[in-house]
Amino acid sequence: MRADLDGKLQLSRRDFLRAVGSTALLASLNWPELYKVAFSQVASGAINIVWFEAQDCAGNTTALIQATSPDLIDILGGSFHLVGPGRVKLAFHETVMPEWGESALDIARAAAEGKLDPFVLVLEGSFPQDEKAGGPPGSDYYCYIGEEGGKPISCVEWMRRLLRRAVAVVSVGNCASYGGLVANKVIERVPGLPSSTWSDSPTGAVGFFDDPIRGIKGLVSLLPEAEPFRRFIRGECSLKPGEIRSDCRPAMAVPGCPANGDGQLRALASLVLWALGVLPLPELDEYWRPKFIYGRTVHEQCPRAGSYAAGDFRQRPGDNDFRCLYAVGCKGPISNCPWNKVGWVNGVGGPTRTGGVCIGCTMPGFTDAYEPFYKPLQAPRVPTGLEGAAAVAALLAGLGLGYLTSRGVEKAKAEAEKGEKA
């Protein structure tokens, strides 16, 4: 899609054929028969995906649809051959599946009963601790899907059932990974709220992984059923390609608010290809994220890095310039994320590329540890003048975030002298 000289949108021949082909492909599928297959034993060499949404906004699902390299059509249509048709089946996804009500629950129950083995469990959204996990009376209603015997089946209860059968877990988004926004602390305690006695979060929400910044234990530490995944992330066991064991199972975080669609697909594909015996598991960092995605900081890959090196900082968040955003609150120096470098959708976008600060959404502690978003990292606003330039240099060096070059200091000095003469 592009615009002509008159501003009218035009659809290229390639995009038109792609859209027509995709529509024909999806329309030709026998959806009822496909979902009947979901209840039978998976054919040799195939993997099911069970995508479970808890306390979420479906933002990660939306981002997944925006993926471009590969995109969903590449995978469904088979041009991405390693995980093409017949190799991966999306058995359960609350947002996009045609089934609803009890029919949808039957598929989730089938997964919990081992009828969809092997499957990779994808988590989206945070998980409020239910009564069985120590929550107050009524906390089962904070997040539940379906009922049994007149009582809700809490989202954490579904995790107890599904974790027993999942061969791998991938958490997409910050909420599913570390608790995210939903796990934020209550600023002012409200008398009578359960949060005043049992959790810093109004619903006692947690992610799958621990949040070491806020001191929140995730499901991997809270649930006995997560023991095989706990052993893996603690480095107590290792797995070869295709080595599916009951005592050691891989788990991976793909955080973000939301997580980038390309990142989601690449991380998920890496787990699927491991389960199929094609590739080894990717190396993870200290927060259980794949290093091939999160190995470098936003600052290291920022297109504004030249402005940072020159000491050329933006003075107000909304200024229309290409100066470094550190002084107006960018958390890039302590956040790991590549999307400022490679773009958000098809090479386009990314916070600092488009003038917004990095808010630390790929990190544990988000959002509590990174607010206010437009305040510099544990520092006052960058002052102006010669003394300000020296202070910034000392500040950045002290934080281990680098230092202003002599060129940057000289530039700041010149601007200060120019201001004094004026």
In a domain, 377, yes or no: yes
Give the chain's largest Cα–Cα span: 81
pLDDT in tens, 6-18: 555 566 777 766 6
Q: Do 111 and 255 fall within a single domain? A: yes
Q: Do 342 and 377 fall within a single domain? A: yes
- Domains: count for the chain: 3
Distance CA 376, CA 359 (A): 11
In a domain, 196, yes or no: yes
Tokens of 162: 């599904």
Q: Do 123 and 187 fall within a single domain? A: yes
Domain boundary among 274, 291, 308: 291
Q: Do 228 and 262 fall within a single domain? A: yes
Cis ω before 202 (30° cut-off from 0): no
Q: Do 157 and 263 fall within a single domain? A: yes
Residue 47 DSSP label = E
Coil/strand/helix, residue 59: helix
In a domain, 33, yes or no: no
What is the domain extent for residue 138? 38-291
Identity at 401, one-letter amino acid code: L
Q: Which of 369, 176, 177, 184 minimizes the C-alpha distance to 288? A: 177
- Give Cα separations from 365 to 171, 180, 211, 258 (angstroms): 16, 7, 6, 15
Residue 213 DSSP label = T
The CATH number linked to 334 is 4.10.480.10
Q: Do 166 and 189 fall within a single domain? A: yes
Confidence of residue 31 (pLDDT cuts 50, 70, 90): very low
Dihedral of CA 287/292/294/295: which sign? positive
Q: Do 243 and 328 fall within a single domain? A: no
The per-residue DSSP string of 334-355 comes to G-B--HHHH-SBTTB--TGGGT
Q: Do 103 and 1 fall within a single domain? A: no
The CATH number linked to 82 is 3.40.50.700
- Helix 155-162 vs helix 102-112: crossing angle, to nearest 10: 40
pTM: 0.78
- Give the pLDDT of residue 56: 93
pLDDT in tens, 197-221: 567 888 899 999 999 999 999 999 9
Q: Do 265 and 366 fall within a single domain? A: no
pLDDT in tens, 326-349: 999 999 999 999 988 888 888 888
In a domain, 204, yes or no: yes
